[in-house]
Structure 1
């Protein structure tokens, strides 16, 4: 493709920014990123967050090797300030269902054999074993079993988005932000089916030789057929506000993931927030056969709300590990939306019938952000090759899907639910506040 031709990237999240970065590195000079929010990190991006896990634990070595490549990117000057290799504790509690135990054992078997990771893997079978790597754990750790992985940690996702945005802007990438000029309301097609550009909420038509849709959970709002195999799904996020001394106490704490309860990170020094997430199969928001996030996900009854069952999981997680925090109030609660596929595979492909003019980046499935340093390279490969050669990342046919969407994924415990089932609970919470 002519490197001066106009390229439109829809979405300023991790996938969109990584694509802009790799394209400008490759010499493309006419790139515009459209983002609905007034700023980056965007509230509509799943990566607009304090932190995300960076780990290479996969039962499939294909993704393990991709993460190890991405980790090299996290250790560069652009990404390095936001990467913290604190190590990673993976465990199950004594009450974990067999599915969670099996998932942990498969992950341990995989990383224990990997030549890059195996020397840093230590089994954890006793309370003392856990406290050797997380001395701050003062809870009973009832029945906890697991392992420690030295080559893992987390990245400050919101700050990473901000840094890449500023870097790309300094190199000539154009950013149109806000509900008028940055919100894309439709794609434009010519008579042959080729995507010729987009229209924004202010009515302006923008011509593009290549349009790249990286809207995450919102992608099906512009490409309805995407919603047949990539659904919008959300998980809960909560935080505890700590004091400066409490932050110092937990400094250097490994990322801890108890597969039947949830996971947490060392506190953020700037905000003194301690982030926790429960583990489960998540929630969808299906209307007319397609799941999409609410128009404004963080407003209305869902503002500062997580389901009661998720809160109970997090309370139990804290009682087992850091009991002094178990009854503290949760703040900045929210539902984090992402794009999910049934098999947790990404989609990096041309939309069929658009003559290689429209690319969709989707299906992060809760494990995409860690790939941010390298993700855009795969989009560049797609454009250069003219087709997606990896079957696992190709556009998927609807007939390949079934009803128990995502429940079979090995690391998810429980059954996915509809957001509508939370309406009564969230309305009670809202009324109580008023």
Structure 2
């Protein structure tokens, strides 16, 4: 039976999915909503969306997600909280002549999923060779070595941190309450009466009552729901930036979001900061606990690798720049970091009640690197879950036991390479530092 509109609902986490849930619960008429976050301000640095920008595209081998992504793109263009932050610059997807077969195969499957679709067809062009790409990327002065791929007009990026801030302001102006800060906003444990969750405790020792608690903590979710860590792990990818001059920033204004499947991707520079963001592609890095095996982001005050990226990732990005902007290839990388997110082995989301809690706890997890683009519509699915009282879609249900194993996520077609653990990265960095002494 659906809960009443004035039932107290608590949302733990003010990232993309938590804020979207608040907005859509508001739209559905819910009036007693409170969001908790350990950050003193929004955008929260604990969110994977605490970033300059994220790709917004609808190429999926699975038409289920293609349809949802098209709905999200429409909402990016029409919802007042999100329209200022979506930029339809177009999307170039390519492989170099040295790309492994898996990368080429995925590119072809992604293209096949949209090439004949009426929603995309008019804006798709296959590309092969440097000059064909330069019709859309005239600023790219590098060799674009044996590039093959395509251009998709119906795609681009969204400014992610600004989207979080805008969603927060939209929700707060309409009555959603926010409790922020390391003491008052950080939830340390859930409180149960029998099987039913009745609330939670925050770091300041206060107990808060809640009829429905929605855990939307991304990579940190297993800190409150340990069994979540069996199928949704905290994983990180590298992020780096190059500081541009005003003239350089203007030169690259309007370039298509570009994804080279065997190297990495980048966006037009941010006009406010003049930062040019790049990300290498790969499986990513986990941080499993030695006793439990559950991967969580490292403690806040852990020394590097919080301010560096692995050497292998840096090599990919240097090669990406040599292919596209040779004049930038030797520039220092600034604001290097590992971006932590919640990942499932099959890249399916979890949008479900936690079993055994008598429908008192909802878990939102498993964005798997493709969840931010859904921000404008994601909360609709949470509202539907609450109205139904159960999750009918098997793909979004809570999983029991471990999914994957040693090859976690490697069967997902768009992930190239091998993963590693955070401890390995720290030891590798220490060896490099010692070698330079």
Per the normalisation by structure 1, the TM-score is 0.97
Q: Is the 8 A contact 2:231 2:402 kept in 1?
A: no
Say which of 270, 273, 283 aligns to 1:281.
Answer: 283
Q: Is the 8 A contact 2:351 2:396 kept in 1?
A: yes
Matches within 5 A, 1:250-399: 250-287=252-289, 288-296=292-300, 299-398=302-401
**Using the alignment, how far apart are the partners of 1:426 and 1:210 within structure 2?**
44
State the match for 1:37 in structure 2: 39
Are positions 1:52 and 2:54 aligned together?
yes
C-alpha distance after superposition, 1:96-117 (max 9, x if no partner): 0000000001001111021101
C-alpha distance after superposition, 1:129-161 (max 9, x if no partner): 100001001000111100000000000000000
**Using the alignment, how far apart are the partners of 2:62 and 2:239 within structure 1?**
27
C-alpha distance after superposition, 1:364-422 (max 9, x if no partner): 00000000000000000000000001110001121554331101110010011111101
Q: CA RMSD in A?
A: 1.4
Q: Which runs of 5+ in 1 are unaligned?
A: none
**Using the alignment, how far apart are the partners of 2:152 and 2:174 within structure 1?**
37
**Using the alignment, how far apart are the partners of 2:42 and 2:168 within structure 1?**
7
C-alpha distance after superposition, 1:295-346 (max 9, x if no partner): 217x511232000000000000000011110000000000000000000000
Q: How many residues align?
A: 432
Say which of 85, 100, 106 aligns to 1:103.
Answer: 106
Matches within 5 A, 1:9-28: 9-28=11-30
Q: Is the 8 A contact 1:234 1:337 kept in 2?
A: yes
State the match for 2:95 in structure 1: 92
Are positions 1:70 and 2:49 aligned together?
no
SS at 1:165 equivalent: helix
Say which of 142, 147, 154 aligns to 1:139.
Answer: 142
**Using the alignment, how far apart are the partners of 1:399 and 1:177 within structure 2?**
33
Q: Is the 8 A contact 2:230 2:403 kept in 1?
A: no
SS at 1:414 equivalent: coil
**Using the alignment, how far apart are the partners of 1:344 and 1:263 within structure 2?**
19
Instruction: Quote how far apart the aligned CAs of 1:126 are.
Output: 1.6
Say which of 418, 422, 425 aligns to 1:419.
Answer: 422
Change (3 A) 1:417 1:400: closer
Instruction: Quote how far apart the aligned CAs of 1:29 are.
Output: 1.0
Are positions 1:167 and 2:170 aligned together?
yes
C-alpha distance after superposition, 1:58-98 (max 9, x if no partner): 00111011010011110123211000000000000110000
Q: Which runs of 5+ in 2 are unaligned?
A: none
SS at 1:277 equivalent: strand
Q: Is the 8 A contact 1:304 1:331 kept in 2?
A: no
**Using the alignment, how far apart are the partners of 1:150 and 1:300 within structure 2?**
42
